[in-house]
Amino acid sequence: LPARCYTEPVKGDNSEASVLDYDRWQEMLTEYYSLRGWDYDGVPTADKLKALGIGAYGRGL
């Protein structure tokens, strides 16, 4: 996400402006990727590709 997402408040439905917490966002993103079998950059791991039956296609990633 752009840096401004962590510094510029966004007003939501609850009428209270809030800013994303960068550390919390990174924790959630890491967990999201992990649950899907992706690496830190969001690329499927070799194990995930094998599980999907397309392991041979991951050699160039």
Name the pTM for this structure: 0.72
pLDDT of residue 60: 64
Is 42 within 8 Å of 54 (Cβ atoms)?
no
Q: How many helices (H) and strands (E) does the chain have?
A: 2, 2
Structural domain spans, the chain: 3-60
- pLDDT per residue of the chain (61 residues) written in tens, 0 to 9: 889 989 988 877 766 778 889 999 999 999 999 999 999 999 999 999 999 999 887 766 5
